[in-house]
Amino acid sequence: MSLQKVGNFSLHNGGGFVARMKFAYIDDEGQKKSTRETGDILLGQTKTAKLEEFDIPDGALVYLHVDVVWGKDNEAARAFTYERGNTCTAAYTITGTTLSNTLGLIDVNC
């Protein structure tokens, strides 16, 4: 079974903390790498990130990683395949508190 292809991720912050997105991906040698972070996403805000702006190799297996400032980070369990130029967006939401938060996939919008 092939993974769904996306070109973007979005995150809605419904938690009582500041969040930042970054992305974990598997490179051609099978090594897990991380990208830089986005800017702050405050309570009630939604931010969309284009993967092409994060130097991720086309075709890489990608996971959303959320840095919770002063709290417990969270990484999505579901992976997607990055496809340069793809307009589909994997939309996530994070809720809870700094030390007890939940990250969930809402939908994939194409």
**Segment 37-82, tens digit of pLDDT:** 999 999 999 999 999 999 999 999 999 999 999 999 999 999 999 9
Domains: count for the chain? 1
Taking Cα atoms as reference points, which of 64, 110, 105, 107 lies closest to residue 87? 110
44 CB-side CA count, 13 A: 0
Q: Which two tokens stand for residue 57?
A: 């190799």
**pLDDT tens digits, 87-105:** 999 999 999 999 999 999 9
Domain limits at 71?
Answer: 5-109
- Confidence (pTM): 0.94
Domain containing residue 81: CATH number: 2.60.40.180
